[in-house]
Structure 1
């Protein structure tokens, strides 16, 4: 095949991207069965082989046989499903939840998927093989009974990796671009030749290297399938311009990713194959491109300088990649879909920042990636920007112009906090300077880290509920007995009880995460991924077994603002000013400030009273239970309860709240945050790495808030808890600078797995050049005070309310949810409401 000129398009460039986007979103995403059938076929054929070889052969079998497609107008090819935005299933991790939701997955409120009856049957037939063989089942067997009880009572949830692959990684894209999978294969072959049969780790290391070789060959042959498909389509194509495009695609797929890329176009195609194939190997998300502007720049600069490439065509290729990133998808169970709503895969791409020598390396691609987000205007990638005192002002203004559109991109990250934070966890200065962001807000060094970010959601409000009930939840002893809350005569005793409940639940969270960690190492090591992470080849360990240079586990806590405000209210009203007794506060919380409880909580209260009566030797039969239920309902819904609740809510409203630049309250919030971040540092994972806290919720603050009772800050039961380190919605009333000042007083450095700060602005606040300058000034000021991260919604409340009423008119409305953006109309109503409730700021 000969080479063809790049600047050829079947239709005008201005039309290609909108049409690709239109085609991508023409239908509801669809679940397909090909991968489940193929991996099951392979596993049945390799029963007695080492697991790492089985994984490689399964990957090979999938890539040899999975249906492939080139979508209309594409310049970058490679699709995991035939249907746009479709998804495959991964029964080796878990499957029972999907079968249980076959009849509801198409109609659920968050992230629905179409699934045909034939696909259901094919998936069921494949799933039958996996009973007793999944990572989920093995992880459960490794967990302690107390851990399972805490999870059942929603103290925390590690559901992300419990049911799915891990992901949350950035691989050595640059190495694939440089030497291709043929070069990586040669490295594995050389390492294999250097070890002896008599080496103590020979059996494990040799099989890992063999698995890497199989995986590299599988990726090469997969690209060749696309080369042949492009040739076949070119032969049938009657449009001469499109025919030339297909021939060029065929040539690209012959060259990459087998060999090193020789052009920017080849580099783009090679990058995409890596991104897509990592998703086929495992169902993990947050597989993040990282510093795309850095490792792609040499290919761009070389072609641009030689005249082989125009900037316009390079921009179109980047735009095409951004479209493709929205084509990847996954189906989660219904509960997890609520926590990750918006079909997001959290593929974080970051621009700007320093190199390993501390020199700013912003380049033309940094600006072009921002332009690509503007052109494509879709949630993926989760575009981010690194900021430090060397960041060019022009880049900040360019980023602010994108933020002003309302897309919720980019997110802003502070080098001056994140670099030392990573160094405090053992990352070298050179590696820390070269960090990128994974998923939502999690920093790591690309190509060397298995960070296990997003390892669990920890709701900091739930241990406070245990304090009020002596460790019980719904009548079950879930936490330690810390005593009758009404007997705690000092705030210090009350606060100590909270810390005891917190540390106990953190210990159980660690037990859950480590059980899941071990299950992945034993049943689902990933040789393809491991071939692109240092130093798996040298160590002879897959990433899942601890082969990465840096190994962490990063579970995140949320509800900081609720806890800070709640504890400050208790300290102020109950102990300092004595305006409120603990008994009165407990009754207000138990009755949801007189605003009623759901049937589940009423039933639990009835059961708890019945248990206490039985323990006291009293008769408890149907008649007694009916009487108890009647009295509980009367107490919860009585006019007296509501009047008392309203009286207490008025007192709570007068207590200062976090987010208003009150140094005393902010210092208190800092200490409350330590109740989660400091205990975490005591623990280590099976890969030898340290636990490190994150303070961000994805969007789980909404569904997990729905499982949480009323809190002393005046939050009603079942309402969302505060997201990330942001003030509680509506409580930050002194403007954006005051809110930023408060949040900056938290210790962001200790939360080395990332912190998340959301703000919402009315569009008028960023209008004109002055609005942009004010906005950039706010970010700079916050970062000067050691804040770590900021992200923004720039959309009016009226627009969001209208979008709820008329979703058909707002199909392209993108908003910032948590550490990611999503199409507003794809979110559940509860999550939409949470975004609407956030304080609308202005300068």
Structure 2
């Protein structure tokens, strides 16, 4: 790849960014609380706008050395601000442990703790989390307590998961948006029953947009002050230009590529300051930014190298955005992820190829900085140029786990099926991990919950019980089922129950955000909010969805396949035997640990037992012979049955129709149930099938299962096969995954594959990867992403993290520095099947 090395400027910015663990800063929390105390009797949307205004007017500004794009979220690099209006009790409980975490560590001073304890007192009983809890049924809370699902993402934080209309701000500036809101305010019909409420919204938009304009002008003044003190002439001129840029944008339309980059960043930073929702995704950056790139680079007023350095600076800046999550959530979101998805390629609204020179420059920027953000992606259709495919493959080969690849031929019709117009569907981007969205027109509530599909099966096998707690329906004792169809029917009933509780939880959180945390600034950049006079939280967007994702497709599919094959067809195992071995964890005790040397999960007996079992299975398939040689030992008998479940039935991921069809049906049972429901914003629920990294903690709450999984082991991630079960190579695995109905899972599906670096060597390796993706997409797969790294390197990184501190890997729908991850997530990545062509 050309120009693979970064400039000294970019390397310096990167080094500064990762010099220390990120600190917790309290400025926003203090300013917010002070404002709320001053606006007690005002409408909530006005209170939100006034608080945002105070923060933007008074927060400390910083221009870091050699920056070309300015605008800070916190004073320290990667520092985090706090958002007590959403939740705060968990943080106070974890004050003394956040710097001791095994992953996602933060520093907080004793003085900050003291101040925050006082600040948090004001918010007692006033948070969105507390209100949402009041709107949940007791059965819903019980289901969350046992791990059937979690809505922690929005339960504790702001919503996020959106791509705003960056193009509009670049074209008309916030002056144009203010004028639009002011015109709507003047034109209000005072006879409209919602006139007063609408007027409050318009006023809040004007206040919020003006606050961002003032924020930019504060930077203009700061840049002038720093320029006056600067002795290096080149840096002085840069600061003076930064001052000019900030004086013009984002108030006014951008006049060139530098101003467009600066305006984009002010939008990105301000959204994060208003609310701490992650996945604020740049979307189709190569489309809305290209006119400015073209005007400067193609027409010669800026060199290609200068434009690339601006992009590189912006890419580094995107890694400055950070947030703190409760420790439990970090198990599902490990590695400081912010999920700022930026996508290139695809097609235009007219159905023509959208690839342009900026598409390539964006991929080059990711190759230069080698950082987790932005989470770069590529849209592929049958007219995607081979040169773009191979450019993306070059970046993949670097080993960052990026770009992720998305299939227009599946996603566009999937969105149309949800009521999105053809032109808008063609203009989709990706939000966060893998979620398709029409940027600037959608409040998608993606990633609304992690739903533990395997837990629902476990509850089914235990007649509605989780241990001694009744959490589901009584659908029949496992030993009473006379056919596979009876078992599947029970699973469907159990799924109906838990999805209904999931919907209650999601809608409770949705309503709480609408009542206590409307976001006027974010709303002003999404179509129809101003036209309707409504915030996003009230249903102001053109398209409104709620997208919870199912986790454990492969586990449920393989578990059902094993029961169908071994119990009901081959009759090698009885339901009584199955119930017994599941209840005692196949004789391995109650818990499992991860072997750091192999990346596989074991108990003390497992290694020895597995060795014995494999020797015996190699000699005979007769259980009588096995039992004679093991003297009926409970542990080895349990392990024998476990190996039978693993090796005696077809497995998803090997291009075997009988196993793949069961997995497909397992996914459809969840998806068809989810899509039946509506949300409070007038939209519908749409299912997804992806886990972020929640497959690891979700496995901890599941006992042993008929796929041969021991209690506590991770679930399979995304729609990927269970690690090690896909034995027929990468093409077979892709063929299996493509058999799922990706169109119905319109909130996104996620497939990880891991390749040894040698598989992608040379031009042939790049061409092979491009061909693999095209073949998978021809079979109607939705998404795929690749880790290109060998297992030995990952093990070395675990043992010597300082040496490998810059190693970036794909976790799930995002990439992260490997050494920042909790060990359980590291082990899950190590254990994934390593493919060769």
1:673 pairs with one of 667, 672, 676: 667
1:107 pairs with one of 100, 110, 117: 100
Q: Is the 8 A contact 1:346 1:380 kept in 2?
A: yes
- Residue 182 of structure 2 corresponds to residue 189 of structure 1: yes
Per-residue deviation, 1:305: 4.0
Corresponding residue of 2:760: 766
Corresponding residue of 1:345: 338
SS at match of 2:697: coil
Corresponding residue of 2:820: 826
1:139-181: CA deviations, max 9, x gaps? 0000011101111111100000000000000001011111111
Q: Is the 8 A contact 2:592 2:710 kept in 1?
A: no
Structure 1 stretch displaced more, 675-684 or 638-647: 638-647
Corresponding residue of 1:386: 379
- Residue 255 of structure 2 corresponds to residue 262 of structure 1: yes
- Residue 713 of structure 2 corresponds to residue 719 of structure 1: yes
Q: Is the 8 A contact 2:6 2:368 kept in 1?
A: no
1:156 pairs with one of 131, 135, 149: 149
- Residue 425 of structure 2 corresponds to residue 432 of structure 1: yes
Q: Report runs of 4+ in structure 1 exceeding 2 Å deviation.
A: 304-307, 638-641
C-alpha distance in 1 between matches for 2:590 and 2:789: 33
- Residue 557 of structure 2 corresponds to residue 564 of structure 1: yes
Corresponding residue of 2:305: 312
Q: Is the 8 A contact 1:92 1:134 kept in 2?
A: yes
C-alpha distance in 1 between matches for 2:576 and 2:637: 12
Uncovered stretches (5+) of structure 1, i.e. residues with no partner:
1-11, 601-637
1:698-756: CA deviations, max 9, x gaps? 00001111111111011111010001110001100100000000000000000000000
SS at match of 1:457: strand
SS at match of 1:339: coil
Corresponding residue of 1:57: 50
1:519 pairs with one of 512, 516, 519: 512
Corresponding residue of 2:32: 39
1:750 pairs with one of 737, 744, 747: 744
Q: Structure 2 matches for 1:514-593, cutoff 5 A?
A: 514-593=507-586
Structure 1 stretch displaced more, 121-130 or 158-167: 121-130
Corresponding residue of 2:79: 86
* Total equivalences in the alignment: 795
C-alpha distance in 1 between matches for 2:474 and 2:661: 29
SS at match of 1:37: helix
Per-residue deviation, 1:461: 0.6
Q: Is the 8 A contact 1:591 1:641 kept in 2?
A: no
TM-score of the two chains, using structure 1 as the length reference: 0.93
TM-score of the two chains, using structure 2 as the length reference: 0.94
1:604-635: CA deviations, max 9, x gaps? xxxxxxxxxxxxxxxxxxxxxxxxxxxxxxxx
- Residue 296 of structure 2 corresponds to residue 327 of structure 1: no
Corresponding residue of 2:283: 290
Corresponding residue of 2:273: 280
2:699 pairs with one of 702, 705, 716: 705
Q: Is the 8 A contact 2:245 2:259 kept in 1?
A: yes
Q: Is the 8 A contact 1:110 1:334 kept in 2?
A: no
C-alpha distance in 1 between matches for 2:770 and 2:300: 36
C-alpha distance in 1 between matches for 2:163 and 2:198: 23
Corresponding residue of 2:229: 236
Q: Structure 2 matches for 1:546-695, cutoff 5 A?
A: 546-598=539-591, 640-652=633-645, 653-695=647-689
C-alpha distance in 1 between matches for 2:524 and 2:248: 20
C-alpha distance in 1 between matches for 2:192 and 2:785: 51
C-alpha distance in 2 between matches for 1:405 and 1:21: 18
Corresponding residue of 1:817: 811
Per-residue deviation, 1:123: 1.6
Per-residue deviation, 1:119: 1.2
Per-residue deviation, 1:599: 11
Structure 1 stretch displaced more, 554-563 or 647-656: 647-656
1:4-26: CA deviations, max 9, x gaps? xxxxxxxx972111110000000
SS at match of 2:695: coil
SS at match of 1:807: coil
Per-residue deviation, 1:464: 1.4
- Residue 759 of structure 2 corresponds to residue 793 of structure 1: no
Per-residue deviation, 1:650: 2.5
Corresponding residue of 1:5: none
1:572-628: CA deviations, max 9, x gaps? 11111111111111111111111110499xxxxxxxxxxxxxxxxxxxxxxxxxxxx
Per-residue deviation, 1:669: 1.3
- Residue 364 of structure 2 corresponds to residue 371 of structure 1: yes
Per-residue deviation, 1:122: 1.8
Q: Is the 8 A contact 1:588 1:641 kept in 2?
A: no
1:740 pairs with one of 734, 737, 740: 734
Per-residue deviation, 1:500: 1.1
1:277-328: CA deviations, max 9, x gaps? 0000001000000000000000111122442211111000000010000000
Per-residue deviation, 1:668: 1.6
C-alpha distance in 1 between matches for 2:195 and 2:400: 51
Q: CA RMSD in A?
A: 1.2
Per-residue deviation, 1:639: 8.0
Corresponding residue of 2:609: none
